[in-house]
């Protein structure tokens, strides 16, 4: 789950290949050992030819963000209190159709602007009142679709039948609403919260998409307007699949140009974005010092130096400022995924990879004796970090989670080794065989196992037992990750065929063209999101925070693997505060 690992064509650095020997079982010190017999000190190695990091140590340490100061924090707290008062007043207002629209729009804007986490209790009370009273939305497609999406998003039971008034007898959209672009957009967004077997809602996605694309075509030559921007944005990536932090940064610029902008909410959104960004920058400064002190960038120079990109995954998973501890530790975990990924994919020989996989399964410093020097450094550093995670969980929750953490690493490395064997042997797996392995090799199960223990206050026996084979919600997330990663593979890379992808496997198995295969993968992504929506609604041993991380890290994969300008967007989220021209006056 790092920036896609696609090495350029092989660069041969030296020649020779060691031979693998498995010793027979003997005394304790040698039982089950694997070691190289007469290894060539200069084996064939591939080079990734990776570019130097965009954001080096000096740059990160020199970041200066004024929004972490007391004046801005005080203003932020004052504005937040005013917004909380507004929400509490709304809770006391009768549920007329007009008031319902106001409530739904405010909650919707709080969500998109990235500040709803400050008002979770108030939002839940308002939505519970709407749900329990079954407040009518009149004949407005806009309000009904928004009500459906928000209630379902916050875990309330609401049937797709609420949308039946807008369908004809053939389950198509009624002609009377086909020009209601504002309502159709809300319906399109709502349709992505469909669950399995909700055929009507699935069909709604297709029909609303047709009408929204027609709207774009009809207005393509006209003046730019906010509705056009909203529609184009939604069709690029459904809102339910969008990384929240990216959505907030984008929507702030839209919201301030709307005719009905709430100035207080806009100010809160800008201040909050900048203050949270300052927290992320402090996380990054601490991580940058840790990374420099490990010395791994110099000792393992063949690997990508992508600390910022790795931390961006953590920000995507959980951006709220109070979760710095989670972001810092999970970033360290992802850093090691990146390094080990490069060892298996680019640098290590097949025999060395066998040794490393065996050592990971043992999880014992004595296993280092068999490893080449560059692997020893990585292996010991990894053990130290993961043991640190296990120690923190044991200290805080009296639960020994080390067996679950080490199993997830063993599973990951075995899946990497399988891919390496396929590559070296020229083997082409079928689609099912590929996906069974690829759900693990994308590293999502391993990361989410670590995440579970870092954000869960009470670790239940049921939650631990579910990790034996990875629960559905983790497998669904991993499946979407793998598909988005594979869709990001270029046509040229597919033709080169260094490593099989789901696209190639489907093409080979079905005799399909590349475009047909890509379209099928897109369909499977939508289908898997529906399965994940279904799993979320079932009783679960997992906390709300963890479920949120599963969804958000999945959303981040859509951006990291499929977005055309990742570095620019990362810079906006982590390094570029939103300008607030009149903030000096507001602070007086």
| pLDDT tens figures, 275-284 | 999 999 999 9
- Identify the bridge partners of residue 35 per DSSP, sorted by sequence position: 21
- Could you give the CA distance from residue 150 to residue 164 in angstroms, rounded to a whole number? 18
pLDDT digits (tens, 9 = 90+) for 420-470: 999 999 999 999 999 999 999 999 999 999 999 999 988 999 999 999 889
Query: Which alpha helices (H) appear in 92-225, and where do they start and end?
Result: 97-112, 120-133, 141-153, 181-191, 199-219
pLDDT digits (tens, 9 = 90+) for 486-541: 999 877 776 666 678 999 999 999 999 999 999 999 999 999 999 999 998 888 89
Residue 244 has pLDDT above 50, yes or no: yes
Residue 543, SS3?
coil
pLDDT digits (tens, 9 = 90+) for 539-579: 889 999 999 999 999 999 999 998 878 999 999 999 999 99
> Which one is predicted more confidently, 391 or 581?
391
pLDDT more than 90, % of the chain: 74
Q: Which residue has the tokens 């004046």?
A: 71
Residue 509, SS3?
helix
Residue 55 has pLDDT above 60, yes or no: yes
Given a contact cutoff of 8 angstroms between Cβ atoms, the answer to whether 364 and 358 are in contact is no
Question: What pTM value is reported for the model?
Answer: 0.90
* C-alpha radius of gyration, the chain, whole number: 26
Residue 588 neighbours by CB under 8 Å, 6+ apart: none
User: How much is the pLDDT for 222?
Assistant: 63
pLDDT digits (tens, 9 = 90+) for 205-238: 999 999 999 999 998 776 669 999 999 999 999 9
Sign of the four-CA dihedral 269, 157, 553, 5: negative
Backbone conformation region of residue 45, classed left if phi is above 0, alpha if psi is from -120 to 50, else beta: beta
C-alpha dist (Å) from residue 490 to 374, 495, 500, 567, 571: 31, 9, 13, 18, 24
Average pLDDT of every residue of the chain:
89
- Dmax of the chain from CA atoms? 82
Average pLDDT over residues 107-126: 97
User: How much is the pLDDT for 138?
Assistant: 63
- Identify the bridge partners of residue 22 per DSSP, sorted by sequence position: 34
Of the candidates 379, 356, 351, the residue with the CA atom closest to the CA atom of residue 40: 351
Query: Which alpha helices (H) appear in 318-368, and where do they start and end?
Result: 324-342, 350-362
DSSP state of 21: E
User: How much is the pLDDT for 275?
Assistant: 97
Which pair of structure tokens corresponds to residue 400? 């020994």
- Could you give the CA distance from residue 223 to residue 401 in angstroms, rounded to a whole number? 58
User: How much is the pLDDT for 9?
Assistant: 33
pLDDT more than 70, % of the chain: 88
User: How much is the pLDDT for 29?
Assistant: 35
User: How much is the pLDDT for 37?
Assistant: 41
Residue 26 has pLDDT above 80, yes or no: no
Residue 340 neighbours by CB under 8 Å, 6+ apart: 356, 378, 382, 412, 413, 416
Q: Name the pairing type of β-strands 34-37 and 19-22.
A: antiparallel
User: How much is the pLDDT for 135?
Assistant: 63
Average pLDDT over residues 310-318: 98
Which pair of structure tokens corresponds to residue 532? 């994940």
pLDDT digits (tens, 9 = 90+) for 349-377: 999 999 999 999 999 999 999 999 999 99
Query: Which string of b and e fits 7-23 if b means at least 16 CB within 10 Å?
Result: beeeeeeeeeebebeee
Which pair of structure tokens corresponds to residue 101? 């629209």
């Amino acid at each position: 789950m790092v920036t896609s690992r696609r090495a350029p064509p092989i660069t041969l650095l030296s020649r020779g290949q060691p031979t693998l020997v498995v010793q027979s079982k003997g005394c304790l010190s040698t039982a089950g050992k694997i070691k190289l017999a007469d290894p060539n000190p200069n084996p064939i190695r591939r080079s990734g030819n990776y570019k130097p990091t965009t954001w080096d140590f000096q740059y990160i340490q020199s970041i200066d963000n004024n929004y972490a100061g007391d004046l801005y924090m005080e203003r932020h707290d004052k504005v937040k209190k005013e917004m909380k008062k507004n929400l509490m007043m709304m809770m006391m207002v009768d549920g007329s159709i007009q008031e319902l629209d106001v409530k739904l729009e405010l909650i919707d804007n709080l969500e998109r602007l990235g500040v709803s986490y400050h008002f979770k209790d108030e939002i839940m009370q308002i939505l519970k009142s709407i749900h329990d009273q079954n407040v009518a939305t009149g004949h407005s497609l806009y309000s009904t679709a928004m009500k459906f999406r928000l209630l379902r998003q916050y875990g309330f039971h609401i049937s797709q039948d609420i949308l039946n008034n807008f369908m004809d007898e053939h389950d198509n959209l009624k002609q009377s609403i086909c020009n209601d672009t504002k309502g159709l957009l809300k319906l399109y967004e709502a349709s992505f919260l469909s669950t399995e077997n909700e055929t009507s809602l699935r069909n709604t996605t297709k029909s609303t998409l047709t009408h929204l694309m027609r709207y774009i075509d009809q207005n393509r030559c006209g003046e730019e307007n906010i509705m056009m921007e909203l529609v184009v944005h939604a069709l690029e990536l459904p809102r339910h699949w969008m990384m929240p932090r990216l959505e907030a940064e984008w929507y702030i610029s839209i919201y301030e140009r709307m005719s009905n902008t709430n100035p207080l909410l806009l100010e809160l959104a800008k201040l909050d974005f900048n203050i949270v960004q300052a927290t992320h920058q402090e996380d990054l400064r601490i991580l940058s010092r840790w990374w420099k002190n490990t010395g791994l960038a110099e000792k393992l120079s063949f690997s990508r130096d992508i600390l910022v990109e790795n931390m961006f995954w953590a920000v995507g998973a959980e951006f709220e400022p109070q979760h710095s501890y989670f972001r810092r530790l999970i970033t360290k975990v992802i850093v090691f995924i990146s390094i080990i990924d490069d060892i298996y994919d680019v640098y290590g020989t097949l025999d060395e990879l066998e040794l490393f996989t065996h050592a990971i399964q043992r999880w014992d410093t004595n296993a280092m004796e068999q490893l080449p020097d560059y692997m020893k450094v990585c292996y010991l550093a990894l053990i130290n970090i993961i043991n640190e995670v296990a120690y923190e969980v044991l200290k805080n929750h009296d639960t020994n989670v080390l067996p679950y953490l080490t199993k997830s690493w063993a599973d990951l490395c075995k899946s990497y080794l399988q891919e390496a064997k396929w590559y070296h042997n020229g083997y082409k797996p079928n689609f099912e065989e590929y996906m069974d392995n690829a759900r693990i090799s994308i590293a999502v199960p391993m990361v989410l196992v670590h995440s579970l223990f870092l954000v869960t206050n009470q670790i239940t026996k049921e939650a631990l037992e579910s990790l034996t084979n990875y629960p559905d919600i983790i497998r669904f997330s991993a499946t979407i990750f793998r598909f988005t990663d594979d869709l990001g593979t270029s046509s040229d890379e597919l033709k080169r065929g260094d490593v099989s992808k789901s696209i190639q496997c489907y093409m080979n198995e079905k005799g399909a063209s590349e475009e047909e295969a890509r379209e099928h993968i897109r369909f499977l992504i939508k289908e898997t999101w529906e399965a994940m929506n279904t799993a979320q609604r079932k009783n679960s041993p997992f906390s709300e925070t963890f479920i949120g991380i599963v969804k958000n890290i999945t959303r981040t994969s859509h951006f990291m693997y499929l977005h055309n300008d990742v570095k620019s967007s990362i810079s906006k989220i982590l390094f570029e505060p939103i300008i607030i021209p009149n903030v000096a006056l507001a602070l007086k």
